[in-house]
Structure 1
Amino acid sequence: MKKLLSIFAVAATLFAFTFPVDLADSIVSQFNKYAGAYPQEKAYLHLDKPYYTAGETIWLKAYLIEAATNVLDTASIPLNVELIDNQLGRVVEKKILKLEGGMAAGDFELSDSLHSGYYRLRAYTNWMKNFDESLMFSKEFKVYKIGEEILPVKFNAQEIDFQFFPEGGQIVEGLDNKIAFKATDKVGNGIDVSGVIISDKEDTVMVFGSEHLGMGVFNFKAVAGETYRAKIKYRNIFEKEVPFPAIEKEGFIMGVEGFVDKKVIRLYVGHNYNKPKGSGDIVVVGQSQGRICYVARTPAHNKAMSVKIPRDKFPEGVAQFTAFDETGRPRCERLVYIYKEDYVNVSITSDKRTYLPKEEVKLEIEAKDMDGEPVAGNFSVVVSDGKQVLMPAHDENIMTYLLLSSDVKGKIEEPDYYFSQTKPEVRRHMDILMLTQGWRRFKWEDIMKPTLPEPVFALERGIGISGEITRPSGKLFEKPVNITFMLWLGEDDRQFGTGQADAEGRFSLQNLDFTGTGKILVQAVVGKLNRNTKIFINRPMAPKLQRNLLPFNPITFDENDLADYLKRTADDLAIEKLLRERRERMLQEVTIKAKREKEREDRVLYSHATNSLKITPDMQVSGNVIDLLRGRVPGVQVLGSASDPTVIIRGISSMMGSTEPTYLLDGMMVDKMTLLSIPVFDVDKIDVLKGADAAIYGSRGGNGVISVLTKRGSPSNDGGPPQGIDVSDIYGYAVPKEFYSPNHAEASMEDFTANARPDYRSTIHWAPIVKTNAKGKAKLSFFNTNAETTVDIRLEGMALAGMPVRAKSSYLVKR
């Protein structure tokens, strides 16, 4: 092996090199530029159960994480969460959660009309829409409907997916290669297989077999001029021929030993090209979480390089090593998982190990780091009936998703297996997994583009509303378009604003903060009087939705257990229905008397005018709109000539020295001369606002408001919006429900069914916000149900310093 000319490591944030600007500098600089322009976010949802019944509630806690640091992300605030029907390929319901400190509690009430089948929740921010849908969080689950079976998905048992994965990406003649493989059935479960590789001379060159969840690895050296084929056998029944990877005459290979030595990673890069001296360098780049952590180079005429890479240069998680040839083209790549084992340890201790049904339970949660020091964190805790809620073996959790699944391609079967033990075979199986999962979060062809495109979707700090204004024909205006916005965001939250559309007719409102459903009214005027406009208020663009007809690795219920779960769920839903009906009957006994409010004008922001003047035919002899007010409205004085009148609303005193009121035309703020140009016979009525009635317009209403409403702006007979106006519903943040946890020690009338019917809830307690104090401790209390069972406790969350956390515990309930 020729001597390595120069090898060096760099810290993630240091990009100063000791050699002149060259290929290595260019790669690192471009990567840093890309990472700065496209910072990555990761969303995660902790659900209370892995399956549900139609009519139940999904309880969830959302976490948003900075991919580069694994700390809670506070940049984006709205988080979109969608309930998706996999079989129909449509969104059933969507909610916007308001993230506070990167976290939010939420819920979905599953309609009792949902059909049984497979569903999923998808979570993403507006910024995440700039990237592939596969980078968004997705959690699949089953929904049962009482009395309706889930139809099984039929597929041929002989149809399996089998693939070879050469280490580094290719097999090169005459060089030692490592080849991994993976075999799965049609629903993605690993299948144990054995196989042989046969040369074109019909000689058996290699025998191989899987060692974990259908995955395995073997060494292979291709002989020049020979071709190969492979056969596999599975379930000791079926045998089939599968494609063998193409053999390259020339190329690069990469070999990594990434799990034996706890301090270093051994990396080898080789090629069989004949490169002259001075032809440039081969550069190896190691990156993790969107940061360059290691760089090495050697002259391209060297046919091999071998380096030892310190593990402490990398954070815990998936690291990607890429070798570039002297032209800057990526030639081979390898993923390695870096274990640091610097985890946060969380203990969940109950005050007793065995309880009676309906007895109170007290839990203490304590979080410590590896040195035993207390850890501040924010967690979510779910307490479940272990007989009704069956958790899949080594299921996905916040740790496995953030550190592993979110950074590789494809679904990982039993992800927590790779974190639950430190045995050598588990580390080896993780390394095989890295050989069979492709990288997806960063693509070098995107990173190395000379010019990076501007992101299409902006980072959101609040609810955003946008739209555009055109002529009725769809063509753009050549003039500025004046806009008035009116927002109804709740009974006591009304907002008003003005502005102009840009040259393309686009407008937007950003960073709104409201809950539930509101309304927006947009008025547009070109010049002073032209209201002949077409207004479009955009609906939020949803990411592409993939239809998924295959089940996802469903939990298999024993028939009797499933029947018992569905029966108890039916009882719980019946209790909830009785409670709702009782509340409704109590409400029906209350008689409410109130005056009916006048229907509010859709064109204006206010709901009440101080005085209102309805224009009748005999008034149309007046010279102009302002003249209509002379002597007809109490407290309003019109002074001066008809061509240049002055309006004073008595009782108004301005600190700015002006007494002129604000003028509105069909809700649009205009100047006085615009009103003077309006034909009197076009006017329907004039509203006068002062004092508290005018306060809705803020400082603009300080001298009162004269609001002119025209006949031309009146709603059309079909109930549509007036000309130049569009009204639309807008959707704010969802308000999370509070989990109902009965106090069996002090049952109230509200909880009258607690004694009338047994309590067999599958989710016994849900606590979405559990914070540890300065001593790293937190406490919870709740009551058991009637069930004699094993109760499971599962905790997930984030240490505030930036480490995902999960923990489990259990206790027994019996008489």
Structure 2
Amino acid sequence: MKKTLYIFIFISCITPYLTLAQEAKKEEISKVLNDYFFLERENIHAHFDKDVFLTDEKVWFKGYLYHRKTGKPFYSCINIFANLIDDSGKVLDSQLLYGNMGTFSGSFQLQPDMPTGRYYVQFYTNWMNNFSEDESFVKEIRVINKNAPSLLNAPNYSQINIALHPEGGKLIAGVANSIGINVTDCNNRPVTVLEEAYLIDSQGTVLKTVAINDKGFGKFDYVPETGKVNTLKVKVNGTEHSQPLPYPQLTGIALEVNSFAMPGKTIVKVRTAKTDKNNNSLFLVAHKDEKSVIFDVKFDSGKNEEVLVINNTDLFEGLNTIRILDGNLNELANRVFYIYPKTNSNNINLSYTKDAQGNIELSGDVYAPNMNLSISMLPSNTLTVNEESDIYNSLLLAPYLYSSQGIAARNYLSDANRRNQYELDLFLMGKSSKYKWANIKSNPPSSTYTFDIGLALKGKINQNIPGSGKYKLRVSSLSGQLDEIVEIDNNNEFYLDHLILADSTKLDFILLKGDEKKEVKLYPQIFNNKRTYNKSYKPVASLCTDTNTAVAGQFPELPDYLAPTNATMLQEVKIEADPTRLKYKTAFGNSQLRPYKITETDSRSFFYITDLIRYHGFDVTINGGSVSITGRSVRTINGQKTTPMIYIDNIIVMDYDILFMMQTSDVDEFYVNQHATVPSVDNREGIIKIYMKKNISSKAKTKSPTSFMVAEGFSIIDTFKNSQYLSTTTKGFENFGIIGWEPIIATDEKGHFKVSMPYSQQDSVKVLIEGIGPDGRIISQVKTISLN
């Protein structure tokens, strides 16, 4: 009796210390995750007009920038780099792209001598260099040279891969294991398995039949025995293939996670090997980035299974990772799974009419205001679309996985029905987290690389300046919308940053001393326009036998062109029959603004553009060369006035001082809404858009300035120009042609949009729609519309 009492007293005394130790470990785990994911992370998705191109075509794209921590567009991301890469990893072309309010757009021109094959476009930022994981976005495209086509879409059966994925990472002997299956061809593309798979023993006895879906995914439960290795057999394309199961481990943890069987709950089963005596006290960590919940896992005496039922409200919408850690915070098992949001319906209603010119006017409702969309229209039987590449995959799955290839995520994430949840989970069983626990625990990233916002200009004046400190440097560019006066330091150096300058912009420099102007000799340099990515994409060399070489009559018909494909198209050449016609009225975001065509009367009444802005309801203050513009109403709690968002030729104005002395006579069109809502990270209300005349004559100067041409600035955005097809009714056009591409579309306050596309005499068309809203809502749908 006394012995029992002593034991009871001992346990009673030690329990609080054990509890405190457990809580300290949990705090340590939470801190490790917070430290590792402390820095902001940006993700990128690019919507391409199509996925298969002919040489000499342009590759058009619209990019979306996503802020991981907020789940919303990344408005402050400005500098985005894009590389076009061939299948050997060689960079063929590079661009600096301008991020504007969470999006960017551009194009790559393909060359006629490019060989048929797979190519890749990698998008990244300099900030991404801070992380050990690859946070860039890579898009695979296929290019066809008509002189050497190849059947790039056909499955390659020269090798069939049967991947077996024990849930949790290891196959544990003597306990029930859940094992995922993934069957792919030699290029790791999904293949269809028409029959069930079979688990057989060494004598050929069928132990279990396993259902495989049309994407090659399946799963089964299995209790492996030490010393016995069974085999899984699958029949693909009439041929049987087999894969032995891995040898079971004598120690470790087997996991089974189910987030869809019980509404609102996630069931986690943790099983430890019967021979393992070291797993008496474990931690289950469920996290998404730095957000985490941590549970104790303790096995009852004589048992080797613990079941935890977790409310989904305690987890995190999107992709979660479960990790089982021991008392020393070593990882024993992990698993990724998905928690669907409560509201998940993002269906698009789409209809069409034909206008007087025969064009197709698409009318759509996405039931979400101010969404930023892009649309591609192709023949309904096109061979140019890979539906696995969508914004759901890029922003919700791929950021957390080593590879998200093999699934059209829009088909599963846009509708949270039970079947979709089950099939998505089959896919995730075969995927592992991109974030290794060893890195998280011991190697948190640091902000070594900068978050670039525009370009930087630095230079040194190579002449003696009398009366040092009295001179300043004026840097101006009419086309670059720049007019800045900068200080010159004691080393005759100057610095100017946050510049938005297009490629080949001319900068003018002149010394100022009061009203005196003086020519200057200097050596300027541009920074932030070239950034090497330390994880440049390296395609995996294919070891597959080429079974898809085209022979005469086997390759799909190609389209015929009206004009030579290497003809140079003039950019934005317009003949205006009516000089008063508003050219930019239908441009992105202008539908909610009042438009004005600047007349001679306007130029006389409002000599400077700041006068016109003041007339339209804003307070404008000019002090020296500094310009301040605010709204006339107070919209903030602390009494501060709001400031408007101002654009010049669709480039956001970072500093209002550029408007100083800008003459209204140089402006072509003016758009304004004093009370327009602005999706931004700072205090903004009101939008002003200024479009400059294209033939502004240079103002006379007392002294000629020194000029400098900006090389490799932000890429100039071309207007989409389709290929000149000989006919749009041929099989070749149906296979590889494109009808229209519109990268800049905005929904109104009711979620409605309209867009016009040319009529191509097709009976039906395929419409690809993608986009994101200011609240982070994502849209990605493929619609087929009959035009009969």
Same fold (TM over 0.5): yes
Paired letter, 1:513 = I
- In 1: Cα distance, 2:251 partner to 2:459 partner: 55
Aligned to 1:266: 267
For 1:188-267, list aligned pairs within 5 A: 188-191=188-191, 192=193, 194-198=197-201, 202=203, 204=205, 206-212=207-213, 213-223=215-225, 225-235=226-236, 238=239, 242-267=243-268
For the residue of structure 2 that corresponds to 1:448, the secondary structure is: helix
Aligned counterparts of 2:154 and 2:740: Cα–Cα separation in 1: 37
Counterpart of 1:456, as a letter, is: T
> Which of 420, 429, 433 is equivalent to 1:435?
429
Structure 1 match to 2:287: 287
Deviations along 1:463-500, one digit per CA (max 9) or x if unpaired, are 358999xxxxxxxxxxxxxxx99989787758877669
5 Å matches for 1:6-25?
21-25=23-27
For the 8 Å contact 1:68–1:291, the answer to whether it is kept is: no
Q: Is the 8 A contact 1:317 1:339 kept in 2?
A: yes
Alpha-carbon distance in structure 1 between the residues aligned to 2:474 and 2:712:
15
Counterpart Cα distance in 2 of 1:417 and 1:104: 25
Measure, in 1, the Cα distance between the counterparts of 2:102 and 2:550.
36
Amino acid at match of 1:800: P
Pair 1:452–1:558, CA change in 2 (3 A): same
Q: Does residue 125 of the first structure (1) align with residue 137 of the second (2)? A: no
Give the partner amino acid of 1:515.
A
SS in structure 2 at match of 1:433 = helix
Do the aligned residues in 1 keep the contact of 2:266 with 2:310 (CA within 8 Å)? yes
Q: Distance in 2 between matches of 1:206 and 1:216?
A: 16
Aligned position for 1:577? 567
Give the Cα–Cα distance (whole angstroms) in 2 for the partners of residues 581 and 778 of structure 1: 27
Distance in 1 between the 2:216 and 2:49 partners?
30
- Gap change, CA 1:129 and 1:499, over 3 Å in 2: farther
* Deviation of the 1:515 alpha carbon: 0.7
Match of 2:743 in 1: 768
Partner in structure 2 of residue 174 of structure 1: 174
Secondary structure class of the residue paired with 1:135: coil
Residue 155 of structure 2 contacts residue 185 of structure 2 at CA under 8 Å; is this kept in 1?
no
The residue type equivalent to 1:196 in the other structure is: L
Q: Residues 775 and 215 of structure 1: is their aligned pair in 2 closer, same or farther, counting only changes over 3 Å?
A: closer
Partner Cα distance (2:474, 2:230) in 1: 70
Report the 3-state secondary structure (helix = DSSP H, G, I; strand = E; otherwise coil) of the residue aligned with 2:73.
Answer: coil
Q: Partner amino acid for 1:382?
A: S
Alignment TM-score, normalising by the size of structure 1? 0.64
Q: When the two structures are superposed, what TM-score results if normalisation uses the length of structure 2?
A: 0.66
Q: Match for residue 309 of structure 2?
A: 308
Aligned twin of 2:533: 542
Answer yes or no: is 1:377 the counterpart of 2:371.
yes
Measured after TM superposition, the shift of residue 130 of structure 1 is: 2.8
The count of residues paired between Structure 1 and Structure 2 equals 606
> What residue is the counterpart of 2:715 in the other structure?
734
Correspondence for 1:746: none
The one-letter code sitting in structure 1 at the alignment partner of 2:503 is: G
Take 1:735 and 1:583, find their aligned partners in 2: how far apart are those partners? 15
Larger Rg: 1
Which residue in 1 is equivalent to 2:295? 296
Aligned to 1:644: none
Q: In structure 2, what is the equivalent of residue 145 of structure 1?
A: 145
| 1:777, distance to aligned residue in structure 2 (A) | 1.6
| Distance in 1 between residues matched to 2:122 and 2:780, nearest whole Å | 21
In the other structure, the counterpart of 1:318 is 319
Number of the residue aligned with 1:712: none
Q: Distance in 1 between matches of 2:277 and 2:475?
A: 70
Counterparts in 2 of 1:562 and 1:509: CA distance versus 1, 3 Å: farther
1:85 corresponds in structure 2 to 86
- Counterpart selection for 2:756 from 781, 789, 800: 781
In structure 1, what is the equivalent of residue 599 of structure 2? none
CA shift, 1:563, in A, is 5.5
Q: Secondary structure at the match of 1:306?
A: strand
Equivalent position to 2:412, from 418, 433, 436: 418
User: Residue in 2 aligned with 1:408?
Assistant: 401
**Does the residue aligned with 1:28 lie in a helix, a strand or coil?**
helix
Query: Structure 2 regions of 5+ residues with no counterpart?
Result: 1-10, 12-18, 461-471, 510-522, 575-699
Contact 1:322 1:331 in 2 (8 A): yes
Which among 33, 36, 39 is matched to residue 34 of structure 1? Answer: 36
> Residue 70 of structure 1: CA displacement?
2.5
Q: How far off its partner does 1:802 sit?
A: 1.0
| Residue correspondence of structure 1 range 558-637 to structure 2 within 5 A | 564-567=557-560, 570-571=561-562, 577=567
Alpha-carbon spacing, 1:144–1:324, altered in 2? closer, same or farther (3 Å)? same
Q: What's the C-alpha RMSD, in Å, of the aligned pairs?
A: 4.7
On the 8 A contact 1:418/1:430 being kept in 2, the answer is yes
Deviations 1:606-631 (A, max 9, x none): xxxxxxxxxxxxxxxxxxxxxxxxxx
Q: 1 CA distance for matches of 2:112 and 2:125? A: 29
Distance 1:268 1:230 in 2: 25
Three-state SS of the structure 2 residue aligned to 1:404 is: helix
CA contact (8 A) 1:349 1:363 kept: yes
Shift of residue 759 of structure 1? 9.5
Where does structure 1 lack aligned partners over 5 or more consecutive residues? 6-16, 369-373, 469-483, 523-532, 585-690, 698-726, 743-752
Contact 1:741 1:782 in 2 (8 A): no
Aligned-partner Cα distance in 1 for 2:415–2:550: 27
Query: CA 1:216 to 1:377, structure 2 compared with 1: closer, same or farther past 3 Å?
Result: same
Match of 2:449 in 1: 457
> Structure 1: how far apart are the matches of 2:252 and 2:305?
12
Q: Is the 8 A contact 1:358 1:784 kept in 2?
A: no
Rounded Cα–Cα distance in structure 1 between residues aligned with 2:454 and 2:285: 38
Cα separation, 1, equivalents of 2:704 and 2:173: 82
Letter in 2 for 1:297: D
Partner SS state of residue 392, structure 2: helix
How far 1:122 moved relative to its partner? 1.2
1:515 corresponds in structure 2 to 502
How far apart are residue 60 of structure 1 and its match? 1.1
Q: In 2, distance between residues paired with 1:773 and 1:217?
A: 45
